[in-house]
Structure 1
Amino acid sequence: MSPLTLINRPAWGAALPRRASYGFVLVAVAVGLLAPGLAHWLLAPLLLAGMLLLGVAHGACDQFVVPATHPALARERLRYWAGFLIGYLGLALAVGLLWWWQPAAAVALFFGLTAWHWGSADAPALAPNRGQWIAHSLLRGGLLFAVPLGYWPEETRTIINDLLTLGGAMPVRAVAVAQTAVLLGPSVAVGHLLLWGSYFRQNRGGVARTDMLEVLLLTILLMALAPILSAGVYFVFWHSLQHVLRMNQLMGRPLLSRRPALRTELGFFLRRSAPLLLLSLAGLAILYGVAWSRAATGSVFVSLALLVASVVTLPHALLVTLGMDAARWR
């Protein structure tokens, strides 16, 4: 059985255990509800550690995707590595040039691509058909942006404008954020109802109920915590954690239990990702050292993190969509 078959064969919630992610989300929600004034101080250290061990690390094994999913393209090691580095760094450079040429377009591309990438990563392992998989991907990604836009409009606009300012673009107005929320929120809600109805019509009630649970959990998270914290919790302890578990299977470590030891799974992944992870952390340390010495503010820290993430999101998302999710397009 090939690694690609392994990562696409199991039912939703069996091969990629979600309970750990659910638990992290519930703890974060509890902090936000019981100690809203202390939420930032309580969650920030955990998120910083998680960002390094999961957030940055989760893309540091991208070089293993093509050999596992399209082995014919990686038979000649030197040729593969040359092609991988040229393609990966070339796409990253293209995004960097877009930031220099059209920063507003770079911000729009980043948020749109992130919505797709996060949404498709959350899709059921055995979506009934390709159309439902695409619908789920768009709706889940839309949900992750619609709730902050509607419930935390000013905080969300501040994040967007800080990023636009860092790139040298004009800020967005409050009315634009409000109009987007009015359009996106109802569309996501109605879309989910139609999607769940299609699952039930196909006697896939389990898939529908799992999706309902996750939509409820994520909506509560996005409402209980300010956008920076809720996005951080989701990215680290949901998206990145589930990607690490999925990559472990692809790299030859199939999950043999519904409740794998997270320490063991993370240790396996970190050993495989160590070379690129160490290079990434060294580069980030230098970048932040220079930036922090010039403008030591929290908003710059966050905006710079988002800018750096945007540069590698395109090649990473393409590898996941066209490599790990190749079977879903058939």
Structure 2
Amino acid sequence: MSELISAVEAADVRFPTSRDLDGSDAMNPEPDYSAAYVTIRTSSGDAGHGLAFTVGRGNDIEVAAIRALAPLVMGLPVEEVLADLGGFSRRLTGDSQLRWLGPEKGAIHMAAAALVALVWDLYERRTGKPVWRLLAELSPEQLVDLIDFRYLQDALTRDGALGILRRAEPGRARRTTALLKDGYPAYTTTPGWLGYNDEKLIRLSKEAVAEGFGQIKLKVGADREADERRMRLALHLHRVRRVHRHPAAFPDPERSHPRRSPRAVDRRAQRRDHPDRPGAVPHHRRQGTGVGAAGFTDLRSPFHRRDAVLRAGEMASHRKHRCGSTARTKPHAPSLSCAHPNDQPHPRSKGRRS
């Protein structure tokens, strides 16, 4: 008898992080870090876990969205799901009624992502390998089968992606060996939450460096003078290498002009904008700023994801990377990365996100 998915359980989990302003940024000044935590169980007793992250109110809506998708998952043969993970994803986003709520944006988008993530979690538990290793061992054909090219083909076709992967395939073993040996640069956001006072910023920055972190990311965007002061406080501890800012925090066109960014604090800093909403893409074109790979993950609309690919020339996968499961972090020269509120770590980075 084949093994089936026998249960889908969703829980509303919340933490009162707003008490100490942990996780605070320009757009989310008082977040209560929360998760719609979901578990699938199989008829043989195995389990996979995933979550959709929220910042408090509305977490119950996310739980309801996951439960609405559960009937599409219940009773599926486990081996068939693991053999066609791209098809499983399309099953979740292709329901003819739920897709009316938006399979590529909003609560349904996040719920589908949680279910896809937990199936990958089940896969890695059964194989004993982290997700990055599972992906690294797939053939180019298997990798492109995971992607829905309907929303990307104007920028990247299936054949084009296959060509890129096939050209890179000969160096796969060498890159894997280097990753396992040396790790990959990491950053921490822990010291840089916007609601922290100056003393806490300095104290946590020193602790992060002592723990081996070579990059620190600061949240900016609520107040320009405060941003510049916080950057100066950190400059005596670290060499600033990158500056990220949240475009929505500077709605005034004059204030959001590239020449008026927080980079003025130190010429070594590099500003890296990215759109966090569909309407921001034209703004970035007008300003002449690049769209970084980190920003790609925050675009809910397929059209604007495609647009971001055209601007950046690269894509980032969505929050499910376990590079650190077997590879250690490689210390690098200390640097400070000041990032806007919704910025995400590069997919090949390993670091804390508190």
TM-score range, shorter chain: under 0.3
Larger RCO, structures 1/2 (Cα 8 Å, 6+ apart): 1
Q: From the two aligned structures, give the one with the greater helix fraction.
A: 1
The structure with the larger Rg is 2
Q: TM-score, normalised by structure 2?
A: 0.23
Give the number of the structure whose residues are more often strand, by fraction: 2
